[in-house]
């Protein structure tokens, strides 16, 4: 290894808080110890982007891993169904030797991966599902959540709209489904916590595609904001009808997916949305990370790409700093609150009661891009939450204003 490369690697390691010993740089040949990590994602384009982001993180990790006689091997797999996800997870573990799996898909597919990892005794890092059930009644000791929870997104919405934007009067458009009811329940929780008022509510049948009558009724109630308890195609359809009707009321919600919005007609989008990540984020080396991710993906990084990159980085940092790559060692490292460097301005830790990654969220607003802009230039980054001045005895307590508290959580971990 050249002296220049040694100095560069030493700088990287010391910046990461890793002690560098002279023996690291000895020129003797040593066999590389391999750490295999699976990346298992569901169907759809977002999964492809997530794998590419994890590959970038693995390549960057290997740049440092070489100095420690280690090599990271990423094992990508795509699952078509929940049953396929369980089979692919077992394949990654038994045949690929994966010490951890990151990824997921919809809530059921993510649950299937979680259960397979638990049975096989390795950790799973959820990078896609916001389900409170996975963090509550069906939580597992070996699962850690990099994606934010639904409660975190709704709390972010409450802080921004009520405390920052001074919009405390909310109306609710809710799909008549279990998912719609969960979104409304958590939105009302956030509304109560910040002293807001519910002024109207309309429930629309599942499978319905015409929300115009409900939207007009809600607008007549005079709310500051209409909260959309919808997701996917239903949400996009409702937003298109808001613009079609020319309603001037503010729209917001908790389940925006940037990749889905990119595929919609920009003039038919509106609203303010909490987000895990923004390609406009520039602080805390966010600009540099966004450049690297965009170069790898061929377009800016959405939230799932950031989550996959961060999950891969978290596993490598746990091995490097904790000195162990077995399940007990990784769990111990994460549960002891060792911080993950995730380009959000502070080391991020997992909550002890549900293994949710504490982290700031971002708030974006839909906008019509300029004529010469790319199709993904449809969001304006408004700011971050928790808001400055949010009370808390330390950083962790401030971040814990997003999401269910230990007292509210129904998660009960078993032993390893």
Q: Is the pLDDT of residue 63 over 90?
A: no
pLDDT value, residue 369: 77
Whether the pLDDT of residue 14 is over 80: the answer is no
CATH 3.40.50.2300 fits 31-148+281-335, yes or no: yes
- Our measurement of the distance from residue 264's CA atom to the centroid of its chain's CA atoms, rounded to an integer in Å, reads 22
Model confidence at 5, in pLDDT bands (50, 70, 90)?
very low
Instruction: Work out the mean pLDDT of the chain and round it to a whole number.
Output: 91
pLDDT attached to residue 21: 40
pLDDT for the residue numbered 375: 78
pLDDT at 373 > cutoff 80: no
Lowest mean pLDDT among 14-18, 218-222, 267-271, 348-352: 14-18
Upstream peptide bond of 386 is cis (omega within 30 degrees of 0): yes
Secondary-structure percent of the chain, ordered helix, strand, coil, rounded to 5? 40, 20, 40
Does this model's pTM top 0.85?
yes
Q: What pLDDT shows up at residue 207? A: 86
Average pLDDT over residues 326-343: 94
pLDDT band at 342 (very low <50, low <70, confident <90, very high): very high
Alpha-helix residue ranges (DSSP H) falling in 16-137: 45-65, 82-94, 107-120
Which among 52-66, 163-177, 358-372 has the top mean pLDDT?
A: 163-177
Q: What is the dihedral of CA 119, 120, 125, 126, to 10 degrees?
A: -40
* Spatial CA neighbour of 351 closest among 408, 307, 304, 289: 408
Please report the pLDDT score of residue 285 as a whole number: 92
Q: Is the pLDDT of residue 4 over 70?
A: no
Q: Give the list of residues 6+ apart from residue 156 with CB closer than 8 angstroms, or none.
A: 274, 361, 363, 385, 402
Strands across the sheet with 361-366, in order?
197-205, 169-176, 225-229, 250-253, 272-275, 361-366, 379-385
What is the pLDDT at residue 31? 61
Q: Which CATH number fits domain 151-275+362-399: 3.40.50.2300, 3.10.20.30, 3.40.50.720, 3.40.30.10?
A: 3.40.50.2300
User: Which of 394 and 10 is assigned the larger pLDDT?
Assistant: 394
How do residues 222-243 score in pLDDT, each as one tens digit?
999 999 999 999 999 999 999 9
| pLDDT, tens only, 171-204 | 999 999 999 999 999 999 999 999 999 999 999 9
In this predicted model, which residue has the larger pLDDT, 279 or 32? 279
| CATH 3.40.50.2300 domain extents, the chain | 31-148+281-335, 151-275+362-399
Q: Given this model, what pLDDT does residue 28 score?
A: 38
Res 120 pLDDT > 80: yes
* DSSP assigned state of 68: G
Instruction: Give the confidence band of 29 by pLDDT, cuts at 50, 70, 90.
Output: very low
pLDDT of residue 30: 52
pLDDT above 70 covers what percent of the chain? 92
Residue with tokens 């390609």: 279
pLDDT at residue 16 in the model: 45
């Amino acid at each position: 290894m050249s002296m220049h490369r040694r100095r560069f690697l030493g700088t990287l390691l010391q910046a990461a808080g890793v002690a560098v010993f002279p023996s690291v740089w000895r020129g003797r040949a040593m066999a590389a110890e391999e750490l295999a990590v699976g990346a298992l994602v569901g169907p759809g384009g977002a999964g492809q982007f997530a794998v590419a982001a994890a590959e970038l993180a693995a390549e960057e990790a290997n740049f440092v891993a070489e100095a420690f006689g280690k090599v990271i091997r990423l094992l990508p797999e795509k699952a078509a169904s929940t049953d396929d996800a369980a089979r692919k997870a077992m394949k990654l573990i038994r045949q690929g030797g994966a010490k951890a799996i990151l990824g997921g898909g919809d809530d059921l597919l993510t649950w299937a991966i979680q259960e397979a990892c638990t049975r096989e005794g390795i950790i799973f890092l959820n990078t896609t599902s916001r389900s409170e059930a996975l963090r509550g009644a069906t939580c597992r000791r070996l699962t850690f959540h990099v994606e934010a929870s639904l409660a975190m997104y709704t709390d972010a919405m409450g802080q921004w709209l009520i405390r920052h934007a001074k919009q405390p009067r909310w109306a609710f458009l809710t799909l008549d489904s279990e998912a719609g009811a969960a979104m409304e329940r958590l939105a009302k929780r956030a509304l109560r916590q910040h002293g807001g008022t519910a002024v109207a509510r309309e429930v629309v049948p599942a499978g319905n595609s015409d929300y115009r009558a409900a939207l007009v009724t809600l607008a007549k109630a005079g709310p500051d904001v209409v909260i959309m308890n919808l997701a996917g195609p239903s949400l996009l359809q409702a937003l298109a009808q808001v613009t079609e009707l020319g309603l001037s009321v503010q729209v917001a919600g908790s389940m925006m997916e940037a990749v889905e919005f990119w595929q919609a007609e920009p003039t038919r989008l509106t609203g303010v949305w909490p987000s895990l990540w923004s390609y406009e984020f520039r602080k805390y080396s966010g600009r540099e990370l966004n450049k690297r991710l965009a170069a790898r993906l061929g377009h800016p990084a959405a939230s799932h790409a950031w989550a996959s990159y961060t999950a891969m980085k978290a596993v490598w940092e746990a091995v490097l700093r904790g000195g162990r790559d077995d399940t007990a060692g990784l769990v111990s490292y994460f549960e002891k609150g060792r911080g993950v460097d995730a380009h959000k301005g502070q080391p991020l830790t997992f909550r002890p009661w549900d293994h949710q990654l504490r982290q700031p969220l971002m708030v974006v607003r839909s906008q019509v891009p300029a004529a010469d802009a790319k199709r993904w230039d449809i969001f304006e980054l408004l700011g971050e939450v928790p808001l400055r001045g949010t009370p808390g005895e330390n950083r962790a307590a401030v971040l814990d204003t997003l999401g269910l508290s230990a007292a509210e959580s129904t998660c009960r971990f078993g032993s390893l």
